Structure 1
Amino acid sequence: MALMRAAVGVGRRRLLSHCSCMANGSHQGGVWELRVRCFSSWLHHHHEAQDYLRSTMVFRFGPPGQYVSRRFYADMPSHQPLGMPSLSPTMTQGNIVKWKKKEGDKVTAGDVLCEIETDKATVDMECMEDGYLAKIVFSDGAKDIKVGQIIAITVEEQGDIDKFKDYKADAPAAPPKPAPKESPPPPKPTESPKPAPSPKPAPAASGDRIIASPNARKYAQDNQISLSGVAGTGPGGRIVRADVEGLKGGQQVQEPRRAETPGDSTSLDYTDLPNTQIRRVIAQRLLQSKQTIPHYYLTVDVRVDKLLALRTQLNAKLEKEKRKKLSVNDFVLKAAALALKKVPECNSSWTDEFIRQFHNINISVAVQTERGLMVPVVKDADKKGLGAISDDVRTLAEKARENTLKPSDYDGGTFTVSNLGGPFGIKQFCAIINPPQSCILAVGTTDKRVIPGENDGEYTAATFMSATLSCDHRVVDGAIGAHWLGAFKGYIEDPMTLLL
Structure 2
Amino acid sequence: MAILMLSVLSTSLTQTSRNYISKRVSSYRPLISDSRVNSLFLRGQVVQARPFSSGADLPPHQEIGMPSLSPTMTEGNIAKWLKKEGDKVAPGEVLCEVETDKATVEMESMEEGYLAKIIHGDGAKEIKVGEIIAVTVEEEEDIAKFKDYKAPTSSASDAPAEPKSHPEPTESKEEKAAAKAPEANATRAEEASHSGDRVFSSPVAKKLAEDNSVPLSSIKGTGPDGLILKADIEDYLAKGAKDSTPAPGLGYVDLPNTQIRKVTANRLVQSKQTIPHYYLTVDTRVDKLIKLRGQLNPLQDTSGGKKISINDLVIKAAALALRKVPECNSSWMDDFIRQYHNVNINVAVQTDHGLFVPVVRDADKKGLATIADEVKQLAQKAKDNSLKPEDYEGGTFTVSNLGGPFGIKQFCAIVNPPQSAILAIGSAEKKVVPGADSQFEVGSFMSATLSCDHRVIDGAIGAEWLKAFKRYIENPTSMLL
RMSD of aligned C-alpha atoms?
2.7
**Aligned pairs for 1:75-474 within 5 A:** 75=55, 76-172=58-154, 187-188=172-173, 266-456=248-438, 458-474=439-455
Are 2:443 and 1:484 aligned?
Answer: no
Tell me, in whole angstroms, the C-alpha distance in 2 between the residues paired with 1:73 and 1:486: 64
* Distance change in 2, residues 1:273/1:444 (3 Å): same
Code of the aligned partner of 1:476: I
Tell me, in whole angstroms, the C-alpha distance in 2 between the residues paired with 1:497 and 1:339: 12
Are 2:11 and 1:51 aligned?
Answer: yes
Give yes or no for contact 1:363–1:377 (8 Å, CA) kept in 2.
yes
CA drift of 1:254 comes to 10
Give yes or no for contact 2:407–2:426 (8 Å, CA) kept in 1.
yes
Are 2:465 and 1:495 aligned?
Answer: no
Tell me, in whole angstroms, the C-alpha distance in 1 between the residues paired with 2:243 and 2:281: 52
Tell me, in whole angstroms, the C-alpha distance in 2 between the residues paired with 1:254 and 1:298: 41
Aligned residues: 383
CA drift of 1:134 comes to 0.3
* Distance change in 2, residues 1:392/1:437 (3 Å): same
In the TM superposition, what whole-angstrom CA distance separates every residue of 1:445-467 from its partner, at most 9, and x where no partner exists? Answer: 111111111122x1111011000
Unaligned stretches of 5+ residues in structure 2: 26-31, 158-169, 175-231
In the TM superposition, what whole-angstrom CA distance separates every residue of 1:300-357 from its partner, at most 9, and x where no partner exists? Answer: 0000001111110111111122322100000000000000000000000002110111
Give yes or no for contact 2:84–2:115 (8 Å, CA) kept in 1.
yes
Give yes or no for contact 1:149–1:172 (8 Å, CA) kept in 2.
no
CA drift of 1:69 comes to 3.9
TM-score (norm 1): 0.72
In the TM superposition, what whole-angstrom CA distance separates every residue of 1:42-95 from its partner, at most 9, and x where no partner exists? Answer: x87344542354337687947968994432334432211100001011111111
* Distance change in 2, residues 1:161/1:44 (3 Å): farther
CA drift of 1:255 comes to 12
Tell me, in whole angstroms, the C-alpha distance in 1 between the residues paired with 2:154 and 2:99: 19
Tell me, in whole angstroms, the C-alpha distance in 2 between the residues paired with 1:312 and 1:65: 47
Code of the aligned partner of 2:442: A
In the TM superposition, what whole-angstrom CA distance separates every residue of 1:400-459 from its partner, at most 9, and x where no partner exists? Answer: 110110001010000000001111111110000000000000001111111111122x11
CA drift of 1:121 comes to 1.1
CA drift of 1:266 comes to 4.3
Q: Secondary structure at the match of 2:289?
A: helix
Tell me, in whole angstroms, the C-alpha distance in 1 between the residues paired with 2:350 and 2:77: 21
Give yes or no for contact 1:93–1:118 (8 Å, CA) kept in 2.
yes
Code of the aligned partner of 1:498: M
Give yes or no for contact 1:94–1:145 (8 Å, CA) kept in 2.
yes
* Distance change in 2, residues 1:174/1:495 (3 Å): farther
Q: Which residue of 2 aligns with 1:73?
A: 52
Code of the aligned partner of 2:113: G
Q: Secondary structure at the match of 1:449?
A: strand
**Identical amino acids, percent of aligned pairs:** 62
Give yes or no for contact 1:364–1:375 (8 Å, CA) kept in 2.
yes
Code of the aligned partner of 1:283: A
Tell me, in whole angstroms, the C-alpha distance in 2 between the residues paired with 1:270 and 1:483: 49
Code of the aligned partner of 1:432: I
Tell me, in whole angstroms, the C-alpha distance in 2 between the residues paired with 1:334 and 1:254: 50
Q: Secondary structure at the match of 1:291?
A: helix
Q: Which residue of 2 aligns with 1:28?
A: none
* Distance change in 2, residues 1:279/1:63 (3 Å): closer
* Distance change in 2, residues 1:269/1:165 (3 Å): same
Tell me, in whole angstroms, the C-alpha distance in 1 between the residues paired with 2:410 and 2:269: 22
Tell me, in whole angstroms, the C-alpha distance in 2 between the residues paired with 1:255 and 1:407: 37
Question: Taking CA–CA contacts closer than 8 Å with sequence separation of 6 or more, which of the two structures ends up with the larger relative contact order?
Answer: 2
Give yes or no for contact 2:64–2:133 (8 Å, CA) kept in 1.
yes
Q: Secondary structure at the match of 2:145?
A: helix
Give yes or no for contact 1:122–1:405 (8 Å, CA) kept in 2.
yes
In the TM superposition, what whole-angstrom CA distance separates every residue of 1:117-164 from its partner, at most 9, and x where no partner exists? Answer: 111111111111111100000111111111111100011111110011
Give yes or no for contact 1:119–1:281 (8 Å, CA) kept in 2.
yes
Bigger fraction of residues in helix? 2
Bigger fraction of residues in strand? 1
Code of the aligned partner of 2:11: D
Give yes or no for contact 1:333–1:417 (8 Å, CA) kept in 2.
yes
Question: Between Structure 1 and Structure 2, whose CA radius of gyration is higher?
Answer: 1
In the TM superposition, what whole-angstrom CA distance separates every residue of 1:93-125 from its partner, at most 9, and x where no partner exists? Answer: 111111111101111111111111111111111
Q: Which residue of 1 aligns with 2:211?
A: none
Tell me, in whole angstroms, the C-alpha distance in 2 between the residues paired with 1:364 and 1:370: 19
Tell me, in whole angstroms, the C-alpha distance in 2 between the residues paired with 1:90 and 1:188: 44
Tell me, in whole angstroms, the C-alpha distance in 1 between the residues paired with 2:112 and 2:40: 23
CA drift of 1:188 comes to 3.7
Q: Which residue of 2 aligns with 1:36?
A: none
Code of the aligned partner of 1:292: T
Q: Secondary structure at the match of 1:51?
A: helix
* Distance change in 2, residues 1:124/1:136 (3 Å): same
Tell me, in whole angstroms, the C-alpha distance in 2 between the residues paired with 1:174 and 1:412: 38
Tell me, in whole angstroms, the C-alpha distance in 1 between the residues paired with 2:122 and 2:463: 51
Tell me, in whole angstroms, the C-alpha distance in 1 between the residues paired with 2:379 and 2:171: 59
Give yes or no for contact 2:344–2:359 (8 Å, CA) kept in 1.
yes
Q: Which residue of 1 aligns with 2:203?
A: none
Give yes or no for contact 1:361–1:414 (8 Å, CA) kept in 2.
yes
Tell me, in whole angstroms, the C-alpha distance in 2 between the residues paired with 1:44 and 1:405: 64
Give yes or no for contact 1:445–1:465 (8 Å, CA) kept in 2.
yes
* Distance change in 2, residues 1:163/1:480 (3 Å): same
